[in-house]
Structure formats: structure tokens, C-alpha cells
Amino acid sequence: MLTLASEVQYIKGVGPARARILAAKGILTVEDLLYYVPRRYEDRRHPRTAAEVQPGETATVVGVVRAVRAYQTRRRQLNVFEVELSEGVRRLRCRWFNSDYLKKILAEGQILALYGQVEDDSSPGSWRGTDLQMVHPQYEILSGEEAGPGGASLEVERIVPIYETAGSGRLTSRFFRRLVYSVLDQLGTVDDPLPACVREELRLPHRWEALAKTHFPDPDSDPAALASFRSAHQFRLIFEEFFFLQTGAAVKRRRARTAPGIAFRITDAVREKIKSILPFHPTEAQKRVLKEIAADMTAPHPMNRLLQGDVGSGKTIVALQAAVIAIENGCQVAVMAPTEILAVQHFLYFRRLLGQSGYQVALLTSAATPGEKTKLKRLIGEGLVHVTIGTHALIEEDVEFRALGLVVVDEQHRFGVLQRLRLMQKGRWPDVLVMTATPIPRTLALTLYGELEVSVIDQMPPGRQPIATRHVSDSRAAEVYEFVRKQVASGRQAYIVYPLVEESEKADLKSAVEMHDRLSRDTFPEFRVGLLHGRLPADEKDGVMSEFKAGRIQVLVATTVVEVGVDVPNAAVMVIEHAERFGLLQLHQLRGRVGRGARKSYCILVSSGPLTDEARARLGVLTRTQDGFEIAETDLSLRGPGEFFGTRQSGIPAFRIADLVRDRDILELARREATKLVEQTPPGPETAELVRYVREHWSRRYGLVMVG
């Protein structure tokens, strides 16, 4: 008896070889297979012949192959494979270039369904207005040995599901269609884990019906709704996927809110202290955010808050204010940063502002000698250090705090959830503030940080000027360097950044090192040109950074290690080489290294070689806007969620059907519904059942860690 949990390899027609290909797609069980939904549909309810289609439309044409031929084009010597379908005087030729393998697949006499754009055939000897062509249409052979399961035609006279092929085409769309059909046939029915109350309220179809009809839509379905993934059945499956994820997040939020935590007290003395430390007036946004944080901190439960704000919006100072609250209440603070450079910088910033109040600020990174570390750890353990700033070194097992009350994690997406938890466990339910300079589109924030409350600093400190941003080709490098020279000669400083793509780290490193040699020797012999990259020993990195900060290095050649948080207000020019190789957000972050002072700053994006349309669009966005959220939304829609945070581990769940760009409205709905159900007091009978289901399926479905 087939169930949802049955392994696909035992389904008739699968076997070990195909099972391996399916496994590579994440399809191990019948359930996985059923959630492998069609990518699109072809409306073959009234299949049209070659005589019935018009140039300019994208259509499915069904017909008999009258002739096939293979030849070479004269001018460009391309191999062409051609299939001809004729209907009356109308001739339709389908052409594929450099696709010789088709010779073995397509043959005269077959009945084909071809999907693609229909055009006038402009090749020599064809009749304008009569002869049509399709270039690289998708094809499906309709005539064939095997009849569809149960004698039903799955391929014509219906709305036909089209699946993504697997194993480099070895498992075809037709294979999936037939497999799913036979599985649905054998399966009978399945349970619905979605609570009945939610289903009723939103009038969602039962899971079984949703699955069956997403694969095989009713004949009267609306093809437009199907194409936009908004049929009632698709909607239900997308909703379900978000709903379970948001249920997990809501459970975590509820748990955090009811857990015992530290209720910090904010007295007038604490307020005075905070004021005396601030070197400037906070912006309205900073004030609002600090209020939100203070409210969390005074509540007797742990704070779980994400602080978002564009580069330079002034997050660090808000974290510092929160630190003062904790310290004045007799607690210690830990600040974890993703890189050595950033940790050092936070350290200097905190020490400069807090040192005058007699607070002890310490830096703990892997760069410290064992002796220094031991000593520091002892001081931390005795509670003599008020603020400890560090990298991953902070979560090492032997780092113990006497009274850790506040944890600040910078650039959270560089850390996994587990690392954050390990740091939290060094205290007894400390308050947690997660900071990110990555403007995370709301859909992603809800998905990744669904269990956190969110604060946003959406305002820049006063006096900032827009950064003039231009995109040029590297044929104009000499001009760019000339511009850098002028700026530096007038007392400003410049960054020249090279990409460091993870896969080819070595080669790229070489380019940064070589360019540093060239630039310092030939291009800017009159300036001091520094080099900064991730492979330098820590003390050398620190040395270069502090020389740059002090203005003794005027031009800094760097890899993306300068991407996050580096703060040198006198730097006015950011040149990014091979800009086409960076992601939008990364470029935005890099650009944020300049424009931090009151004077005019510049960002020059230098690209090499021909650009793809996508790359051109990406660079264009940056020259147009400086709004981080707009840039982030664009990045998300251009590259999709998987690529959003670049190649680094990002913890974005692998959705099976849902799409964070397309389905944001459904995500919001699912979040509201999940929260309502989880927060219900007293909990309804269905809630416990739901929570159990989510716990059991969490890691398998979302590839995430379910904690609590």
C-alpha cells in the first residue's frame, strides 16, 4: 500500500537508477514527489494545428512531422536540426541549433506538441506570410508505444502539466506526469495537517484535492491563474508551506515572550548616563528604535530583536546605548562581529565612548595570544570586563561570563542560528539584539527571522550627501585613476576594491595583490597605497586599517573584507573593479564605506568585458538609487532568494512551491493566521496538534534547525 512516506524507489517504474536522480532533486518519498509541482501548464484543451497559429504568439502547436532534416547554415556554420509540420498551404518549421542529439529523438511520422514563440519564417526560399518557424520550441512526442495510465490521455485535450526535467533531461516532463498520475491513482487519499478551522476560514481546498488538481487541473480551470500560481489549489499549497514555517516562528516567539528574563530598570540616572555618552543628537529613527529596545529590556522576558538599518544609519550607537542600560544594571555585554576588522572597529568605537565612564571594554578574537586570551577570559569570568567584543572566538566553550545580560550580534546572516544560541547560552536568558546592515526585504526577514521582532532605522544622520555613482567600462581605467589622484591630492582617501569570489579565491587574491603592486609603483607613486585582504595575518590587517584610518595610507587596495562596517569618514572615493561580478547588495555595502562624512563622495563601478542584461540592470539600479530597501527588493527579484546573501550560508529554507518574490501576499496571510492560532488563549484543540506536526516536520521540510 502506497503512503506519503513510501520511498519513491519502490514505486513501479522508478527503480534505483531513477531513484538516484530523483534523490538529487530532493525527492525521496511519495510526499516529496507530490510536492514537485508543475513549473507551468500548456493549454492543450483545443490543440491547434500549424494552420491556426499566428506569428507573434506563444502557442502550443500539435501536428504530424512531415519531414526532418539536418544541415549547416552557410554564414555561421551552425548545425541546424529542423522538423517540418505542414497543414494545408501553411508550413511550420521548427529549428534547433547545435542540437544534433535530436536526430535520434525526433522522426517523421511522429505526432508532436511544440511550445514556443511562433514567428514568420525569414529563411531563404520561404514564403512570407505563409511559412512560419519556431526556434528552439519545447517539444513532446505524443505518439508513442505506451498509452497513458488508465487509458486516459495525459498529454492532449486537457491542460497539461509541464515539469522541470531531472538528470540532465533523462527524466522528462512526461515521465513525471505519468509517475505522479499513477501515484495519485494508487494513493487513495491523504490527511490534511492544516487545521480545519484555518481551512474553513480561508476556504482552502483539502490537501488531497489541492495536490491532485495542481498536477492535473480541471478542464475548466483558468490558464492565467495557473500560470501565475494562483489557482485555488496552488494557493493552498503555497499557503501551507508558509503557514507551517510561520507556525514554528510563532511558537518560538511565544516561548521567548513567556520565558523568564532580566527586567532591566531604566532610571533617570541611566538616562542621564546615556545622554552624557552620546557625541551627537540621535535621529528620530534612532530614538524610536531605542524606545523599542528599552521596552524589551525592561520586560521580564528575553529580548529577541532584529535591528535593521542601512549602512551608516547609526545602528552601532543604538547598540551602545542598550549596552549602557545593561551595564548600569550590573550586567555584562557581549558583542559578536563576523570579521576581525569589524570586531576591532567596534572595539575602538565602544572603548572611545564608554571608556570615559570607567567601563571596561575588551577585545577577544582568535588573533590574541594564548596568554592574553587566558587573562582576558579570567577577567570576563570574574565580571571585571563590562563589554566584550569579539569574533567567533566569543562562543568558544571556555569563555564564561559572570553575568551576561545583553548579547549583540552584528551582521547576523553571517552567523547561523546555532551560533547565536551558543552565545545566548553563556548567560541566563540574556536579551538579544541582532543587527544587520543588509536591508532585508520583508518577505525574507519574515522567513529568516520570523521568530524575531523587528526594528528599522530608516533615516540617515543629518548632513549626509548622496554618493555620486557612475558605471564605466574598464577601457576608461586611466580616467578613473586620474580622478582618484585629484581627490587624494585634495586630501581625501580612496578605496579600490577587487572581487574575491569564493570558488576562485586564489586567482582573485592574486589580482588584488598584483594590482596593489602596479598601482603603488606605476599609477600612484606619489601616494602611500595599502593592501588589505582576508589572508593577511591579523596584526598586519590591523596595522593597515589603522594607518588608513589615520590618513597615512591614502589609497587602500582591498578585497571585500572592507564590505561590512568599516568606518573611515575621510574616504571619499570607492572604485569597484569587476563590478559586474558582485551582487547588488554587496555593491551597496561597499559603496556605503564612503559618504560617511559631510563632504561629497563618489562611487565608480568599473566593469570589464561584455555585460549580460542582468548585470547591466544590476549596475543601473545602483547609479539610480541609494535606498537600501529598494536595492534589496531589486536584488531579490533579479537573483532570487537563494542568491540574495551571495554564496554564504544563509539559512533560507528551500521552499518547494512557494516563491518569496511572487508570493509575498500569501506569506503575510500565512503569518497572520499562524500567529493568531498560536497565540490563542486558551489554545484551541487544533493548536497542539498543529504544533506537534510542525515540530516533527520542521527540519525535513525546511532544512532549518527547530529550537525549542
Which residue ranges make up the site for Mg ion (CB under 5 A)? 316, 565
Of residues 473-502, which lie at the interface with ligand ADP (CB under 6 A)?
A: none
Query: Which residue, 2 or 278, is less far from ligand ADP as judged by CB?
Result: 278
Long-range pairs of 69-74 with CB within 8 A, sequence gap ≥ 24: 70/100, 70/103
Residue nearest to ligand ADP (CB): 314
Report what 668 binds from ligand ADP, Mg ion, none; CB cut-off 5-8 Å by kind. Answer: none
The amino acid that residue 91 corresponds to is R
596 interacts with, out of ligand ADP, Mg ion, none, CB within 5 to 8 A per kind: ligand ADP
- Tell me how far, at minimum, the Cβ of 353 lies from ligand ADP, in Å: 9
Per-residue binder mask for ligand ADP (CB under 6 A), 313-352, x = binder: xxxxx-----------------------------------
Contacts of residue 559, defined as CB under 8 A and 6 or more positions apart, other chains included, come to 497, 498, 499, 500, 508, 509, 512, 532, 533, 534
Within 10 angstroms of residue 648's Cβ, the number of other Cβ atoms is 10
Nearer to ligand ADP, 120 or 627 (CB): 627
Question: Rounded CA gap, 35 and 4, in Å?
Answer: 11
Output the smallest distance, CB 592 to ligand ADP, in A: 7
Nearer CB in complex with ligand ADP: 275/676: 275
- Using CB under 6 A as the binding rule, whether residue 461 contacts ligand ADP is answered as yes
When asked if residue 280 is in the footprint of ligand ADP (CB under 6 A), the reply is yes
Q: Which of 286, 447, 469, 559 binds ligand ADP (CB under 6 A)?
A: 286
Q: Is 89 exposed, middle or buried (0-12, 13-18, 19+ CB in 10 A)?
A: exposed
Interface segment toward ligand ADP; rule CB under 6 A; list 35-43, 309-317, 327-335, 552-560: 309-317
Cβ(189)–Cβ(207) below 8 Å = no
CA–CA distances in Å: residue 201 to residues 56, 197, 198? 44, 6, 5
Three-class SS of 629-656: HHHHHHHHHHHCHHHHCCCCCCCCCCCC
The window from 67-75, 312-320, 355-363, 533-541 that contacts ligand ADP (CB under 6 A) reads 312-320
Distance CA 662, CA 650 (A): 20
SS3 82: strand
Q: Which is nearer to ligand ADP, 133 or 321 (CB)?
A: 321
Nearest to 667 by CA among 677, 678, 655, 679: 655
Cβ at position 432, least distance to ligand ADP in Å: 17
- CA gap 690, 675 in Å, rounded: 12
Tell me which residues in 413-452 interact with ligand ADP (CB under 6 A): 437
According to CB under 6 A, which one of 567, 630, 643, 686 is a site residue for ligand ADP?
567
From first CA to last CA, the distance across the chain in angstroms is: 35
Q: Are 44 and 113 in contact (CB under 8 A)?
A: yes
**Considering the complex, what minimum distance in angstroms separates the CB of residue 286 from ligand ADP?**
6
Size of the site for ligand ADP (CB under 6 A): 16
For residue 564, the Cα-to-chain-centroid distance in whole angstroms is 17
Span from 16-24, 30-38, 68-76, 278-286 in contact with ligand ADP (CB under 6 A):
278-286
Our measurement of the distance from residue 373's CA atom to the centroid of its chain's CA atoms, rounded to an integer in Å, reads 36
- Return d(Cα 396, Cα 388) in angstroms, integer: 13
309: partner contacted, choices Mg ion, ligand ADP, none (Cβ within 5-8 A by kind):
ligand ADP
CB 596 within 8 A of CB 461: no
**Closer Cβ to ligand ADP, 177 or 596, answer by number:** 596
Shortest Å, Cβ 306 to ligand ADP: 13
* Interacting residue with ligand ADP among 161, 205, 302, 312 (CB under 6 A): 312
Span near ligand ADP by CB under 6 A; candidates 191-199, 280-288, 358-366, 475-483: 280-288
Q: Please give the residue ranges that form the binding site for ligand ADP (CB under 6 A).
A: 280, 282-283, 286, 309, 311-317, 437, 461, 567, 596
